[in-house]
Structure 1
Amino acid sequence: MSFFDSVEAFVAAATAPEADLAVGSKVIDGVEYTVFAKAPDSLRDMFAMMLMHGDAPFLVENETRLSFAETYQAAARYAHALVGLGVKKGDRVAISMRNRPEWVIGFIGTLMAGAVATPLNSWWGTEEVSYALKDSGASIILVDPRRAKYILPLLDKQDLTLILSGQSESSNPRVLDYDALMAASTQTTPPAIAIGPEDDATLMYTSGSTGHPKGAISTNRAVITGILGYALMGLAMQNSRGEAPGSGPQPVILQTIPLFHVTGCVVIFLVSIIAARKMVLMRKWDVNEAMRLIEKERVSSLTGVPTMSADLLNAPNRGDYDLSSLTDIGAGGAARPPDHVKPLNDMLDGARPLAGYGLTETNAVGAFNAGDDYLKRPNSIGKVARPIVEIEIRDPSGNVMPTGERGEICLKSAANIRCYWNQPEATAEAFTDGWLHTGDVGVFDEEGFLYIVDRIKDIIIRGGENIATLEVEAAICAHPDVLEATVFGVPHDRLGEVVAAVVYPRPDSGLDAQTLTQDLADHLAVYKIPSLIEFMNEALPRIASGKIAKKALRERMIGEEK
């Protein structure tokens, strides 16, 4: 029996009417979806599972260790602290910090208070954070000291309250001490606030083809659907290995992806609550530190962008560590090179590679590939995560394409976001009768395996981070010595893609790559700054429509780099 034969048989039984993960149909905003019939009404209700897990370890960061119960009680205290600060149901409360226990506590506590958890990219600078805070309307933000320096200049301008976890020299009364707030809050159960499935829960920012990131707003039902969808896949995979689902020692996952990413938040963090899984936090990726933690904490699952598993595969000192606890090596956020799949499968006895496809807009669910089917088809993203996901390949007119014909991947699921925050036109463009137009071009084969073959959206995916080319182009063109510029991605062995730019500078300006890069650092997060910059002494070439010949310039640069 192949991997997916096993998975499909298990899923059919696990989602039957009498099962805990039973599915049914539900009409939401006029569209019929497949939903988990017995799902909790809210994430706040789902978090009560943490009390069932009790003293089992949940969060590990350096010497900090918190059980499920301790984390739940800390989150309840944070929820009451927010309510004491005037937070009401539906208010957005932001978080900007590296992977730390306070991030997790703040996220859970925000939802317990009935507010909308709004994670911000911790690599953003002042301009990017300012935009997201204005767009979201968040007036409270939880930060660590490093992020605080970017936000302190905004406090009075944008009427913000900053909750700081760590030391600060600021005397601004708008800066509140996290530890003091927590010490003053003694409630260990959540506030009594009515929260339903269709109430908003999270606002996550995603870089698309437009300049500014878009806020993707999800309901409680959407996020829970994504969580349970991944939990179902995890149980099916365990069953495919001949193990009784839920049996064996406590699973342990290494949290290598930033928690502000949908993969880090939903697939790793929130699924860990359902799975009673210990989560070992890494603030920054380092392959040697990762191997040390895998050995020390007996990590069973490593999920990260493909760069991370490639680093593990190529680590010259891998044999110095005991990595035998690993069973799953997952990839998300970007495509894993097909030629990495078999070496990863052969790297360790008992550890198998897997890959998933999903978007911020789908709460990370979509399709997945693993087992012998992944080895046979390493360039496929696998099969649709049924029964909660439907995928169709459509042409520009919306017609469904036959098997073997390429078109845009369109995805329908109760896990899809409700809308783009404050952007009705972008929402209308992206969604048609509940179907999300992903911007990815794909094709199904005769056996139902999905392949991504191109991208419609003008974005770059660098190490799992989406970068809008228009945003980078706008920053470059705002430079006083630049007349015009174009930006695109070029292949990179380790990161998948890196940012490249072709620039036409003002004659006799003397502008060079080093100066431009330094100036861009004041306006763009470091990962968005071009790694490759080419200057031209004349206007950039154009195609017949008058647009810059981006494709030709990209192909020329790739040829020069080889």
Structure 2
Amino acid sequence: MATASVVPSGKWTVKPEGEIQIQGGSSEDDPAPVTILDTLNDIVSQHGAKPALKVKRGGEWKTWKYTQYHADVQRVAKSCIAIGLEPHHGVSIIGFNSPEWAMTFMGTIMAGGIAAGVYTTNNKETCQHIATNSRSQIIVCENKTQLNKILQIKDNLPLLKKIVKYLPETEEPLDTEMREKGVITWEEFMEEGKDVKDDVLSDRVSAIKPGHCATLVYTSGTTGPPKGSTQINAYH
């Protein structure tokens, strides 16, 4: 007779799908733990019309209000689901600080995944280690420099489903070879989830617990392969 799998739960866990038990909720002075998405929703409801992100591109500033940022995070989450991101699997993000980085980070978590930041200075071997360790099914990279690293290791990443490049302004368009290897632009990525229903996303969000891993923060790897430190939803 088949037995149901048991999701690890306790004071600590090394399983990506595991849940850390957190104290709280016993009284008004000891509120129950919440997820990072709960916190985002509170911020949007209180400060929706205020600026959340700004970036200067092409000599002009572009601004996202919190409501706009939240909507784009939802689009990222739906696109991750459409591409095939499974709960508790990773999305590696390699690039400098940008709106796309922030949206990918939160969108990954909203889709039930685990966001994994990658140093822009990492070589291809280190990128491969992080993508493998985090079970990344999507890699989002800033530019052609970072993309080239990923293309060199793609065949060693059997879980990888799609590669997204998000800064095209000063670079040549993606060529046929890149597209055959699963590379898409940010604009194309944001359209991937257009047919994903709201209730599908809601189901993913409802399954996220405060004690679930939200992101893996990796060390620089100076003395060996980078080690991933778990950051759970409640501690963001």
Give 1:67 shift: 0.8
Q: Which runs of 5+ in 1 are unaligned?
A: 1-27, 225-562
CA contact (8 A) 2:75 2:107 kept: yes
CA contact (8 A) 2:119 2:220 kept: no
Residue identity opposite 1:205 in structure 2: Y
Name the CA distance, whole Å, in 1 between partners of 2:33 and 2:126: 35
Residue 199 and residue 166 in structure 1: after superposition, are their counterparts in 2 closer, same or farther (change >3 A)?
Answer: same
- Tell me, what secondary structure is at the counterpart of 1:196? coil
Name the CA distance, whole Å, in 2 between partners of 1:177 and 1:209: 32
- Tell me, what secondary structure is at the counterpart of 2:121? coil
Q: Residues 109-138 of structure 1, C-alpha deviation per residue, up to 9 Å, x if partnerless?
A: 001011111111122121221121122221
Name the CA distance, whole Å, in 1 between partners of 2:107 and 2:156: 27
Who is 2:112 aligned against? Answer: 114
Residue 208 and residue 183 in structure 1: after superposition, are their counterparts in 2 closer, same or farther (change >3 A)?
Answer: closer
- Tell me, what secondary structure is at the counterpart of 1:139? strand
Tell me, yes or no, if structure 1 residue 78 matches structure 2 residue 76.
yes
Residue 134 and residue 41 in structure 1: after superposition, are their counterparts in 2 closer, same or farther (change >3 A)?
Answer: same
Who is 2:53 aligned against? Answer: 59
Q: Residues 148-207 of structure 1, C-alpha deviation per residue, up to 9 Å, x if partnerless?
A: 121111122323321121333323241122211213434796532211111111111014
Who is 2:11 aligned against? Answer: 29
- Select the residue among 215, 223, 233 that pairs with 1:202: 215
Name the CA distance, whole Å, in 1 between partners of 2:203 and 2:30: 24
Aligned residues: 196
CA contact (8 A) 2:114 2:134 kept: no
Name the CA distance, whole Å, in 2 between partners of 1:69 and 1:32: 32
Q: TM-score, normalised by structure 2?
A: 0.74
Tell me, yes or no, if structure 1 residue 220 matches structure 2 residue 228.
no
Who is 2:16 aligned against? Answer: none
Name the CA distance, whole Å, in 2 between partners of 1:184 and 1:205: 28
CA contact (8 A) 2:22 2:33 kept: no
Who is 1:261 aligned against? Answer: none
Residue identity opposite 1:134 in structure 2: T
Q: Residues 475-494 of structure 1, C-alpha deviation per residue, up to 9 Å, x if partnerless?
A: xxxxxxxxxxxxxxxxxxxx
Residue identity opposite 2:179 in structure 1: S
Who is 2:154 aligned against? Answer: 155
Name the CA distance, whole Å, in 1 between partners of 2:83 and 2:21: 39
Q: Residues 207-266 of structure 1, C-alpha deviation per residue, up to 9 Å, x if partnerless?
A: 477411111112212x23xxxxxxxxxxxxxxxxxxxxxxxxxxxxxxxxxxxxxxxxxx
Alignment of 1:317-332 (within 5 A): none
Q: Which has more radius of gyration?
A: 1
Who is 2:93 aligned against? Answer: 95
Name the CA distance, whole Å, in 2 between partners of 1:90 and 1:208: 23
Who is 2:203 aligned against? Answer: 192
Residue 81 and residue 211 in structure 1: after superposition, are their counterparts in 2 closer, same or farther (change >3 A)?
Answer: same
Residue 92 and residue 157 in structure 1: after superposition, are their counterparts in 2 closer, same or farther (change >3 A)?
Answer: same
CA contact (8 A) 1:50 1:69 kept: no
Who is 2:31 aligned against? Answer: 38
Q: Residues 22-67 of structure 1, C-alpha deviation per residue, up to 9 Å, x if partnerless?
A: xxxxxx6289987683255211222212421112001011122111
CA contact (8 A) 1:74 1:188 kept: no
Name the CA distance, whole Å, in 1 between partners of 2:21 and 2:135: 31
CA contact (8 A) 1:113 1:191 kept: no
Residue 42 and residue 135 in structure 1: after superposition, are their counterparts in 2 closer, same or farther (change >3 A)?
Answer: same
Residue identity opposite 2:98 in structure 1: R
CA contact (8 A) 1:118 1:202 kept: yes
- Tell me, what secondary structure is at the counterpart of 1:133? helix
CA contact (8 A) 2:22 2:211 kept: no
- Tell me, what secondary structure is at the counterpart of 1:88? coil
Q: Which runs of 5+ in 2 are unaligned?
A: 1-9, 13-19, 169-173
Who is 1:47 aligned against? Answer: 40
Q: Residues 350-409 of structure 1, C-alpha deviation per residue, up to 9 Å, x if partnerless?
A: xxxxxxxxxxxxxxxxxxxxxxxxxxxxxxxxxxxxxxxxxxxxxxxxxxxxxxxxxxxx
Residue 33 and residue 198 in structure 1: after superposition, are their counterparts in 2 closer, same or farther (change >3 A)?
Answer: closer
- Select the residue among 174, 198, 215 that pairs with 2:182: 174
Name the CA distance, whole Å, in 2 between partners of 1:39 and 1:80: 28
Residue 154 and residue 85 in structure 1: after superposition, are their counterparts in 2 closer, same or farther (change >3 A)?
Answer: same
Residue 217 and residue 199 in structure 1: after superposition, are their counterparts in 2 closer, same or farther (change >3 A)?
Answer: same
Residue identity opposite 1:165 in structure 2: Y
Name the CA distance, whole Å, in 2 between partners of 1:155 and 1:208: 21
Residue identity opposite 2:212 in structure 1: D
Q: Residues 298-352 of structure 1, C-alpha deviation per residue, up to 9 Å, x if partnerless?
A: xxxxxxxxxxxxxxxxxxxxxxxxxxxxxxxxxxxxxxxxxxxxxxxxxxxxxxx
Residue 116 and residue 175 in structure 1: after superposition, are their counterparts in 2 closer, same or farther (change >3 A)?
Answer: same
